[in-house]
Amino acid sequence: MIRCFLVLPLLFISVASLCADPLPGTQPLTWEGDIASRLVDECDEFLLRRLEESVEKRSEYWGDENKPSVKRLKKALGLVDERVPFEGLELVATTDDSSLVGTLGETTIHRVRWPVFGGVHGEGLFLKASDNAKAWAIVLPDADQTPEQLCGNRVGRFGPGEVVWDDSQLPLILASHGVNVIVPSLISREMTKRNNRANLTHREYLHRPAFILGRTMTGYEVQKVLALVDWISGKNESLPIGVAGYGEGGMIALYASAVDDRIDTTLVSGYFGNRQKIWQEPISRQVSGLLREFGDAELGYMIAPRKLLIENTKGPVINLPGEGGAPAVVEETPISFSGNNQSEVERFKNLTGEYEIMFSDARIDSRGGLFFFNQNITFPFLNALSAKPVTKKEFLETINHLKVQIQGEEQSHQTFVKERLQRQIAELDRHNQEVMNESPYVRKEFMKGLDTSSLEAYEKSVETYRDIFRKEVIGEYDLPLDPFNARSRKTWETDKWVGYEVVLDVFDGVFAYGALLMPKDIKGPDDKRPVVVCQHGLEGRPTDTFLDDHRAYHDFAGKLAERGFITFCPQNIYIFKDRFRTLQRKSYPLGTTLFSLIIPQHQQIVNWLKTQPNVDGDRIGFYGLSYGGKSAMRIPALVTDYSLSICSADFNEWVRKNASTRLPYSYVWTGEYEIYEFNLGSTFNYAEMAALIAPRPFMVERGHFDGVGWDEWVAYEFAKVRYLYAAKLGIGERTEIEYFVGPHTINGKGTFDFLHKHLNWPEPK
């Protein structure tokens, strides 16, 4: 923070005496320390409060059935790809390698796969107990386990895996009692450098593009389970279906059973608990808007009155470093239902009333290794599936006589496991890219309701889309704006302008902060001036836009003030790296984003600016670079008091920039893990956001050597904007793009001309 001292002797007067001098009509600003840091902290506290409050508010979303909505949960998970029917499981074999990997008495264990949607398959092991099986079960390992480990083979993700003791080999136990079992393979959490940049888990790598395309990594794996349910129920509707899972598999089992009532019995191990800190968990678990309506208790409630069994055991301990990917921590689940887990269980009981749910504690014994699917929970799971229940003695004898015969060499199994994982990753990657390539046609269909027959008709029809953008894409908080309670102090001064720090209340502890630059040639209260709101980029500060000739901004706010514009330079919250990125992660479960906070801040800023005596409230423009360019696409789309917008050093084929695993400048490779907004691919790319700005003037500033994109993709997306303005609305003079030979920077030539023209302010002589 620069204030109250001589910064540039030739430009600034000593301003120690000015610090207590506020703007007329405002209170003195007396805050000390870094106000930007204070702003991020206040936003963080606001989000933590909203997360806690979400528990009590969830029932407000429930409909006539007095239960959470299956339809909304499916949409949030991204279960939008139509599953394909199939006749049977495909055996995975070659001329040199059989599909048979082991036997257990008369049970055979085969490598299999099955189609799910598009070119995506599920893969795993099939334990065929009998042609006349009495039930079917789908047993899901954790993401860092292999199906082989659950079936008595030590072949793990990265070499010989941890021992899964006989007690926990649920697929073998079930098969021994005549249950046909399928054990799907999940995408692992193995980390690797992507394009030699960000170090991401396989799950985050696939989740990033999926999320912006309206899918999730969790949803993809739920789809693989539901494809099996489709097939099994189609074969014989009378046979019961059970789904069990541990760790990540427990999560998949819980979601799958919540959305599909064909699943008769569900066993969740090492996962069920309070999700208020889901923002700390792997980002691939993020589900947009989850906690508005669904905690684990609500998901269990959706399963009732079907059978639900929950095993309280140590879940997988996860500690992912932030090396370009999203850091994550999942601690061990307590070995008793206490604290947050107890409260989630109690919440579940309160929701379901007399509904019977079975809980079991799995104790850690002296053998070490992985201990889950304890007999106290697997015995009732088996009997829930069996028309003829077995006795506890028979069940224990089965465990004592599990003697699986593994076929083939361990190295061969290890090679296959690695190749299977790579196939699964490649298929989902290809699917993401196909969805991305199809997305322009989806958006075109989505936007067909715009009426371009006249400007009046357009402005009326665009409001429906603005409402969707605000509520379903950006997200909003149901809070009115507070009174301004404006505080200010004079902090900078040159021979051309005077600069003030300004703080405004927004709502519930959140405030707006920025710098107001007032030209010195203002002639009195009747001298009404246009305002340009000048927005910094990532990790920036207001002073970057008018002090010290920053290489990206070149003092553009100060230069515009020298031309007679009033300028306001807000402090946006995308600063302090992981501190602000966790704000986005805390927003996702609420169905909101960073811009859900930034937009009301800007609305409050323009509301206040309009009260200032020298401001012409009809001539307030927005000009932002980089992350400020992202702001230039989103904020004026929703804050309609902005009379124009200029997007500098950011405009792009935005969905492709987020989702492509081919383009070298894609965000898939970078540390901006907070950048993704759910389902933009089906709704609003930058051309569609510009459509929300229209018919107000809109301009793009693009340096040929700016690494945020390539000219051809920038031109492709802008061509759609130009077509709307010029061909459809007949206002081609209101939109421009300026290319210049330069990097990621403000050029300040064509854009300055654009501001003078459309804010009706004379060029300097």
Euclidean distance between CA atoms 693 and 640, whole angstroms = 8
In sequence order, the β-bridge partners of residue 511 are 505
Structure-block tokens of residue 296? 């684990």
Q: Do 328 and 472 have their domain in common?
A: no
Q: Is residue 455 part of a domain?
A: yes
The string over 217-239, giving b where at least 16 C-beta atoms fall within 10 Å of a residue's C-beta and e elsewhere, is bbbbbbbbbbbbbbbbbeeeeeb
Structure-block tokens of residue 105? 């008495």
Q: Which residues contact 733 (CB under 8 A, 6 or more apart)?
A: none
pLDDT at 362: 60
pLDDT, tens only, 555-601: 999 999 999 999 999 999 999 999 999 999 999 999 999 999 999 99
Mean pLDDT in residue range 136-159: 87
Q: Is residue 159 part of a domain?
A: yes
Q: Is residue 498 part of a domain?
A: yes
Mean pLDDT in residue range 652-664: 98
Going by pLDDT thresholds of 50, 70 and 90, the confidence category of residue 761 is very high
Going by pLDDT thresholds of 50, 70 and 90, the confidence category of residue 332 is low
Q: Do 364 and 512 have their domain in common?
A: no
Q: Is residue 327 part of a domain?
A: yes
Q: Do 571 and 630 have their domain in common?
A: yes
Q: Please, what is the average pLDDT of the chain?
A: 92
pLDDT at 157: 67
Q: Do 466 and 393 have their domain in common?
A: no
Instruction: Using the predicted structure, report yes or no on whether residue 288 has a pLDDT greater than 70.
Output: yes
Domain final residue pick, 365, 384, 406 = 406
pLDDT at 401: 81
Structure-block tokens of residue 235? 């074969």
pLDDT at 292: 95
Q: Which residues contact 240 (CB under 8 A, 6 or more apart)?
A: 135, 136, 264, 265, 384, 385
Q: Is residue 67 part of a domain?
A: no
Structure-block tokens of residue 76? 């949030």
Share of the chain above pLDDT 90, in %: 81
Q: Is residue 199 part of a domain?
A: no
76, 83 Cβ separation under 8 angstroms: no
Structure-block tokens of residue 476? 């909003």
Q: Tokens 């290809």 correspond to what residue?
A: 430
670, 637 Cβ separation under 8 angstroms: no
pLDDT at 341: 55
Residue count of the chain: 765
Q: Is residue 645 part of a domain?
A: yes
In sequence order, the β-bridge partners of residue 128 are 108
Q: Do 400 and 464 have their domain in common?
A: no
For the entire predicted model, the pTM comes to 0.94
Question: What is the count of structural domains for the chain?
Answer: 2
pLDDT at 18: 45
Instruction: Using the predicted structure, report yes or no on whether residue 175 has a pLDDT greater than 60.
Output: yes
Q: Do 48 and 147 have their domain in common?
A: no
Q: Tokens 């204030």 correspond to what residue?
A: 3
Residues spanned by the domain of 625:
16-53+439-758
Q: Which residue, 208, 186, 78, is CA-closest to 142?
A: 186
Q: Do 540 and 587 have their domain in common?
A: yes
Instruction: Using the predicted structure, report yes or no on whether residue 333 has a pLDDT greater than 80.
Output: no
Q: Do 401 and 278 have their domain in common?
A: yes
Going by pLDDT thresholds of 50, 70 and 90, the confidence category of residue 499 is very high
Q: Is residue 123 part of a domain?
A: no
Structure-block tokens of residue 222? 């739920």
Q: Residue 530 is part of a domain; what is its CATH number?
A: 3.40.50.1820
Instruction: Using the predicted structure, report yes or no on whether residue 5 has a pLDDT greater than 60.
Output: no
Indicate the DSSP class of residue 726. I
Lowest mean pLDDT among 29-33, 238-242, 389-393: 389-393
Lowest mean pLDDT among 290-299, 385-394, 637-646, 647-656: 385-394
Amino acid symbol at 568: F
Q: Do 385 and 532 have their domain in common?
A: no
In sequence order, the β-bridge partners of residue 123 are 113
pLDDT at 8: 38
Q: Do 380 and 453 have their domain in common?
A: no
Q: Which residue, 420, 321, 419, 434, is CA-closest to 661?
A: 434
Q: Do 447 and 399 have their domain in common?
A: no
Expressed in angstroms, the distance from the first to the final Cα of the chain is 34
Domain final residue pick, 383, 406, 429 = 406
Structure-block tokens of residue 511? 């405030």
Share of the chain above pLDDT 70, in %: 94
Domain final residue pick, 406, 427, 452 = 406
| CB-count burial class (<10 Å; 0-12, 13-18, 19+) for 593 | buried
CB atoms within 10 A of CB 620: 24
pLDDT at 340: 52
Q: Do 448 and 386 have their domain in common?
A: no
Mean pLDDT in residue range 73-90: 97
